[in-house]
Amino acid sequence: MAMREVRVYDGDFPTHEQILSGDPGAVFPKECWLKEMRPGEFAVLYKDFKTGIARNPAGEYVQSSAICRIFDSLEEAREDSRKVTTDHWTVRCSIYDHDGSQVDAISNNKKVGKFAAATYAGIVLWIVVFTIAGMGLIWIVFKASVFILEPSTSAQKHFPVSNWLEWVGYAASGFFLALIAWLARTGVTSHRRTSRMKRNLNSMLSPEDRRRFAELNALHGSEDPAERERFLKLSDEYREKVRDALKK
């Protein structure tokens, strides 16, 4: 099998520190693998089947070092891709011709199908849980209202459901009621935690700390390496303060 490996990108990606500090010299590389191909050849690129993040044929996450394999025929590319996906089922192989058009995509359908089934089953389970919880809440509210208001017998007939359409409406109302309640609870909890963190952080910062951290806005994106280094140092200190505030 004739095969060669070439780099996908023409350079390295900027480091986390370069992006964080706004380094003007941080340049993202461009794809260059297509320039390496000749007419009649086929290239295979490797990505995570779920996120689309680049992987290599060994199943490892990569970035700047991403490679593609180039084959003399489509069948050779497919054969090697099937082997890669058998050994590493999380990898999805995309096959391209020399014009850059995708001609095939190969995944480990058996393993990916099991993952998808488990994911959908989990989603369905949570929908059922939310629906039952919401229906129960509606029933409790209704019974409480009857007990408090003591309506007439005719008024009590408004709640019971008697056909499938009413059951569907009842279930849908229960699901959305439970979902709204969960979202409201999540929002309130997040707001409380954020407010508590801000209070803790404000109490921990001295006037001197505030003056030092105020430099972050001015230092970001500086062309001076020394100023970018100071920015990163101050950023680390500030993140440590935030972590301490979250622990309280």
119, amino acid identity: T
CA 116, CA 110: separation in Å to the nearest integer? 10
* pLDDT digit string, tens, across residues 99-140: 999 999 999 999 999 999 999 999 999 999 999 999 999 988
pLDDT at 147: 74
Q: Which helix (H) or strand (E) holds 43?
A: strand 42-48
Is the Cβ–Cβ distance between 245 and 201 less than 8 Å? yes
Q: What's this model's pTM, rounded to 2 decimal places?
A: 0.77
pLDDT at 151: 56
CA 139, CA 127: separation in Å to the nearest integer? 18
- Structure tokens belonging to residue 3: 């095969």
- Structure tokens belonging to residue 225: 């390496």
Residue 150: pLDDT band by 50, 70, 90 thresholds?
Answer: low
DSSP 35: G
Cα dist from 193 to 20, 184, 185, 237, 245, whole Å = 25, 14, 12, 21, 10
* pLDDT digit string, tens, across residues 60-88: 999 889 999 999 999 999 999 999 999 99
pLDDT at 157: 52
Instruction: Return the closest-CA partner of residue 176 out of 139, 131, 132.
Output: 131
Residue 175: pLDDT band by 50, 70, 90 thresholds?
Answer: very high
Is the Cβ–Cβ distance between 98 and 39 less than 8 Å? yes
* pLDDT digit string, tens, across residues 36-46: 999 999 999 99
- Position 158 pLDDT exceeds 70: no
Q: What would the mean pLDDT of 166-193 be, rounded to a whole number?
A: 94
The domain locations on the chain are 3-107, 112-182, 207-247
Residue 159: pLDDT band by 50, 70, 90 thresholds?
Answer: low
> Order of strands, edge to edge, in the sheet holding 42-48?
3-7, 67-71, 42-48, 91-97, 102-106
Percent of the chain with pLDDT over 70: 95
CA 47, CA 112: separation in Å to the nearest integer? 14
Strand 91-97 and strand 3-7: the pairing is unpaired
Q: Which helix (H) or strand (E) holds 106?
A: strand 102-106
